[in-house]
Amino acid sequence: MTRKVLVLGGAGYIGSHVAKALALRGDIPIVIDNLSSGHEAFVRWGPLLKADIREQAALDAAFRTFKPDAVMHFAASIEVGLGEQNPIEFWNNNVAGSLSVLSATKTHGCRNLVFSSTCAVYGTPERLPLSETHPRRPINTYGRTKLAIEQALEDAARAGEINFAALRYFNAAGASPDGDLGEAHDPETHLIPLALQAADGTGTPLKLFGTDYDTPDGSCVRDFIHVSDLARGHLRALDRLLGRDESFACNLGTGHGVSVLEVLKAVAEVVGRPVPHSVHARRAGDPAELYANTGYACHMLGFKTFRSSIKGIVTDAWNYHRMNAQAPAPMLAAR
């Protein structure tokens, strides 16, 4: 059965991968994106409506025109540092925008919504691996805005207005195996693309923050999940929502951590050159380790990862980087 899915923020890194996955299985992704950080060239599997989710009239028009079966919501400001510098704008974009979305879903009777949440809602881990029962005590603006949206979803679900899946993912990484989609943030702040740029000389030496953590090699440990695995998790969550009158939240990760120095080693092996880097003091608020308990996602969604070895993630990211390094930003991956 072909379904129409409104993909908010579908011109961005994760949203575009999910839109592609929807189309490849026969669904119709309808992307709404203001292109403030997304790329028009990433939207090739369905229509693109250039609009901001805070524009209620634009949302209403999209619901009336396309009559979607479900919504997948990726539209958000995500850079943690920028959130600390400009929290009001983060709250306006993330929370006010999401309330506009909820208003539209209620008005137009679209009950099913998959929400792009984050492990940042947990805050500093009290125990590892992080499970869905861990207290939600975010320590930054980004995490607090995502928690506020989760709470709004929970209230709407209790009132019978919506069914939702809040997917709390860990470190999304990698690129589509065919090389047509990948990370293209401006500015780039994510570890793997920065390490690749440093290794091949297209970027500056990587800044490594902290080598004195209580971890096996002294560097931070994070749970890196391949973006293609992440996209599959979203499709499984959507199918569960459409098949059952039930809301839920679950982690999407691999269940194990990889250290920053292990990432640099993998990059060096794939690129064939070491990663130039300098060591700096720890950043405030960076926990030593973050990795998911994935048992609930396995139970709820039958979710497993297939491409999320760190070598596989880096290999796909490197292939994308080589294919797109010389492309101007607005044309990335446009082939």
pLDDT tens, residue by residue, 18-74: 999 999 999 999 999 999 989 999 999 999 999 999 999 999 999 999 999 999 999
Backbone φ and ψ of 187, nearest 5°: -80, 160
Identify which of 324, 323, 211 has the alpha carbon closest to the alpha carbon of residue 264.
211
Note the pLDDT of residue 335: 22
Q: Strand pairing partners for 4?
A: 28
Q: What is the mean pLDDT of residues 307-312?
A: 97
Note the pLDDT of residue 243: 87
Q: How far apart, in whole angstroms, are the C-alpha atoms of residue 197 and residue 180? A: 18
CB distance 247 to 287 below 8 Å: no
Identify which of 109, 100, 95, 124 has the alpha carbon closest to the alpha carbon of residue 63.
109
Q: Per-residue pLDDT for 189 more than 90?
A: no
Backbone φ and ψ of 285, nearest 5°: 90, -5
Q: How far apart, in whole angstroms, are the C-alpha atoms of residue 212 and residue 224? A: 21
Note the pLDDT of residue 184: 86
Judge whether 213 counts as a catalytic residue. Answer: no
The mean of the pLDDT values for the chain is: 93
Note the pLDDT of residue 238: 97
Q: Per-residue pLDDT for 247 more than 80?
A: yes
What pTM did the predictor assign?
0.94
What is 39-88 written as a DSSP string?
-GGG--SS-EEE--TT-HHHHHHHHHHH--SEEEE------HHHHHH-HH
Q: Strand pairing partners for 48?
A: 31
> What confidence tier does 80 reach under pLDDT thresholds 50, 70, 90?
confident
Identify which of 134, 130, 116 has the alpha carbon closest to the alpha carbon of residue 295.
130
Which of 13, 142, 213, 320 is catalytic? The answer is 142
Q: Per-residue pLDDT for 214 more than 60?
A: yes
The three-state secondary structure class of 27 is: coil
The residue behind tokens 């939240």 is 249
Backbone φ and ψ of 53, nearest 5°: -70, -10
Class for domain 4-170+225-252, per CATH? alpha beta
Neighbours of 203 (CB within 10 A): 16
> What confidence tier does 325 reach under pLDDT thresholds 50, 70, 90?
low
Q: What is the mean pLDDT of residues 154-162?
A: 97
Note the pLDDT of residue 334: 26
Note the pLDDT of residue 284: 80
